[in-house]
Amino acid sequence: MTLVERFLKYVSFDTQSDESTGVTPSTAKQMAFAEYLKTELEALGLEEITLDEHAYLFATLPANTDKEVPTVGFIAHLDTSPDMSGAGVSPRVVEKYDGSDITLCADENIVLSPKQFPELLEHKGEDLIVTNGKTLLGADDKAGIAEIVSAMAYLKAHPEIKHGKIRVGFNPDEEIGEGAHRFDVEKFGCAWAYTMDGGEVGELEFENFNAAAAKITFKGRNVHPGYAKNKMLNSMFIANRFINMLPAAERPEHTSGYEGFFHLTGIQGDVERTTLSYIVRDHDRARFNVRRGELFRLKNQLNFEYGEGTVTLELRDQYYNMREQIEPVMHIIDIASSAMEAVGVKPNVKPIRGGTDGAQLSFKGLPCPNIFAGGLNFHGRYEFVPIQSMEKAMKVVVKIAELIAK
């Protein structure tokens, strides 16, 4: 089975995760995909294959050298984003893309255009896998899985390439921030690992946001509107005040690079009770703590104005910047950079404006930077992946294994 055949097979599995279920995996369909992958790894002749009740699938490609070589891991996630359906994915290949608009769905006039997505023009002449405009594609992260499995198959077929012991790991629920929670780092048994979960060719990431999630609840007082003067307290208006007390310039739509933000992700409310959901992000730990503190300050200010208990705040940290854990072992970044250069890819070291399983795994004792998988426009109908980008990612995996053995 080729890399492309693998990828097209994998995206036929609907593996959308669901943060509301409270179980791991959050959806049974992720386990169905893991069970299929287990049979494929067995057929390839990998060893020490385990699939636990939470859909964590581990396997080993044994070393083929007598040298003392550190064990390295490659990791990707099974699930696709809850943001859009992953059921009934119907991909097609646009061969030798010519730079023009790509009609995904003529009936609904859904078009993938370089006018909205100029990154398309970076891939003129390449073969693009696109959606039919009705679902996401699933390159995040089934491209990563296909690249890892294909690299293991390539190394099995080319024993002249010497390598140490390699571990592969496929986990559920990355898209809802739970992928690393039940990941057994000790059982995985690696000196370090790489997640194959980045985007554009060349991406190499060892910095990510510090992240927190906040739920702010506003308590109102409902009175018949005809007799409400000096009595009614509308929780929605208090919530609106809170929103506007945060700096407008520090929203996601106004930030880039290392700039952090407050992101309002949800509102539910009526006169009596309104709830805001926020995510808070910053690369710098000190600025992150200032942002966390600002939420408490605004809560206290509104409680002073409207009465104690009017506003309550639940805040939980989600993950931290993996840079703290990677800096002491920067040779693992050097190896990945050298591997990219060896296969004709220019490394693009950049911060992740988001999170990755690798961040949590790094803090669990498994240093785990992130490498490109090649897909673009994740989490929606305009997602696409160039076949040539996946091929380059697969070659990077092979070359990393080779370089470590040298």
133 vs 269: CA distance, rounded Å? 33
Distance, first Cα to last Cα, the chain: 29
Give every CB contact of residue 207 below 8 A, 6+ residues apart in sequence: 283, 321, 322, 323, 351, 352
Q: CA neighbours within 13 Å on the CB side: how many for 42? A: 10
| Alpha-carbon separation of residue 275 from 72, 216, 252, 295 (angstroms) | 44, 6, 20, 14
Q: Alpha-carbon distance 72 to 336, whole Å?
A: 12
Region of residue 230 (phi > 0: left; psi between -120 and 50: alpha; otherwise: beta): left
Q: Which of 79, 141, 147, 175 is catalytic?
A: 79
Q: Is 317 a catalytic residue?
A: no
Whether residue 79 lies in the annotated active site = yes
Rounded Cα–Cα distance for residues 44 and 61 (Å): 10
256 phi/psi in degrees, rounded to 5: -160, 175
3-state secondary structure of 71: coil
CA distance 72 to 237: 54
Distance CA 117, CA 108 (A): 19
Closest CA to 143 of 106, 181, 95, 196: 196
**Among 147, 174, 203, 250, the one annotated catalytic:** 174
- Write the DSSP string, 122-134: GGTTS-EEE--SS
Q: Which residues are catalytic?
A: 79, 174
